Amino acid sequence: MSVRHRNVVISSPSPGVVVGVLYDYFRAPDASTAAAVLDWPGGPIGLDELDVVAGKGIDPEVMMRTLQSLLTGVDYDELPWGEMLAMTPDPDGPAVERLTVELRDALAAAEVGRLPAVAEQWVRTEEFWDRWTAADVLPFLYEVTALARRARQAGELLYCWCCV
């Protein structure tokens, strides 16, 4: 089994087995600070220097853009893509992606009271494979929207550290 994820194919060792990818979302004052996360074993989780939210399998390119579409009403295909900021030479090694200002601002502007309904819509998209419930993603939604508000207030961008 393999899944095409933009320009990356993630293969699983046998049919029915899904290989996990770790995603951690964080804010940083600049690109060099964000890229330096590659030098930290295990990524940004647990570092006092950064404000981080664990993504628990929620990718920035498809799932987060789908969320942005749900929050803003802008068609998914019209949304801008994030940018790969840094990666290790190892194809399974970590990478850091810079998320768009538009995604940060959509998350920051999300009304907290609307998030349960958005979660219900979001988990019905095909990327969740009918394995997640709104209750599963709602804590992440609360955390990542709060992270986006802090980033916007500080004039910072959001980034995603990922590793296979």
Q: What is the pLDDT of residues 101-121, one digit of tens each?
A: 999 999 999 999 999 999 999
pLDDT higher than threshold 70 for residue 50? yes
Q: Quickly count: other Cβ atoms within 10 Å of residue 11's Cβ.
A: 9
- Quick one: pLDDT band at residue 46, thresholds 50, 70, 90? confident
Question: What is the value of pTM for the model shown?
Answer: 0.86
Whole-angstrom CA distances from 48 to 36, 104, 142, 144 are 14, 22, 20, 17
SS3 of the chain:
CEEEECCEEEECCCCCCCCCCEEEEEEECCHHHHHHHHHCCCCCCCCCCCEEEECCCCCCCCHHHHHHHHHHCCCHHHCCCCEEEEECCCCCCCEEEECCHHHHHHHHHCCHHHHHHHHHHHCCCHHHCCCCCHHHHHHHHHHHHHHHHHHHHHCCEEEEEEEC
Under the banding of pLDDT at 50, 70 and 90, the label for residue 9 is very low
What is the tens place of the pLDDT at every residue in 10-32? 333 333 434 578 999 999 999 99
State the pLDDT at residue 19.
53
Question: Mean pLDDT across the chain, nearest whole number?
Answer: 87
Binning pLDDT at 50, 70 and 90, where does residue 91 land? confident
Q: Could you identify the residue written with the tokens 């590659």?
A: 38
Closest-CA residue to 8 (of 102, 87, 98, 125)? 87
* Alpha-carbon gap, residue 57 to 18, rounded angstroms: 11
Candidate from 2-6, 56-60, 90-94, 131-135 with smallest mean pLDDT: 2-6
CB atoms within 10 A of CB 95: 20
Domains detected in the chain: 20-163 (3.40.1760)
